[in-house]
């Protein structure tokens, strides 16, 4: 599924910002769970799941650019984040 979505995002069928705003956590989670399996599978198929890998890399970049989330700073919140 993430390989297909990665292709759709790469080709502009799904807006990257909109997708990552809602799905960054899941993409990161599943790449973390499956990265080693994909690496092993690539021993025989070196290009397997390239779009998923690309999407996971873009997700890591998105996380780095939004270390405190993406909530609009000019909007009130329902829950105030606790200071860390």
Question: DSSP assignment of 2-15, as one string?
Answer: HHHHHHHHHTTSS-
Would you say residue 61 lies in a domain?
yes
Q: Within a domain: residue 73?
A: no
Does residue 27 lie in a domain region? yes
Q: Is residue 72 part of a domain?
A: no
In a domain, 80, yes or no: no
Residue 32 lies in a domain: yes
Full residue range of the structural domain in which residue 16 is found: 2-65
pLDDT range class, residue 84, cuts 50, 70, 90:
low
In the predicted model, what is the mean pLDDT of residues 57-75?
94
Q: Which residue, among 48, 11, 38, has the nearest Cα to 19 in the 3D structure?
A: 11
Residue 36 lies in a domain: yes
pLDDT higher than threshold 90 for residue 80 = no
Domain count across the chain: 1
Residue 26 domain flag? yes
C-alpha of 56 from chain center: 5
Write the pLDDT tens digit of every residue in 24-41.
999 999 999 999 999 999
pTM exceeds 0.85 for this model: yes
């Amino acid at each position: 599924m993430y390989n297909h979505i990665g292709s759709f995002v790469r080709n502009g069928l799904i807006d990257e910002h909109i997708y990552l705003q809602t799905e960054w956590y899941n993409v990161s989670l599943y790449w973390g769970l499956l990265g080693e399996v994909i690496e092993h599978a690539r021993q025989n198929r070196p290009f397997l799941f390239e779009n998923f890998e690309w999407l996971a890399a873009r997700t890591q970049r998105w996380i780095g650019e939004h270390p405190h989330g993406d909530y609009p700073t000019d909007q009130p919140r329902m829950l105030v984040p606790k200071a860390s």
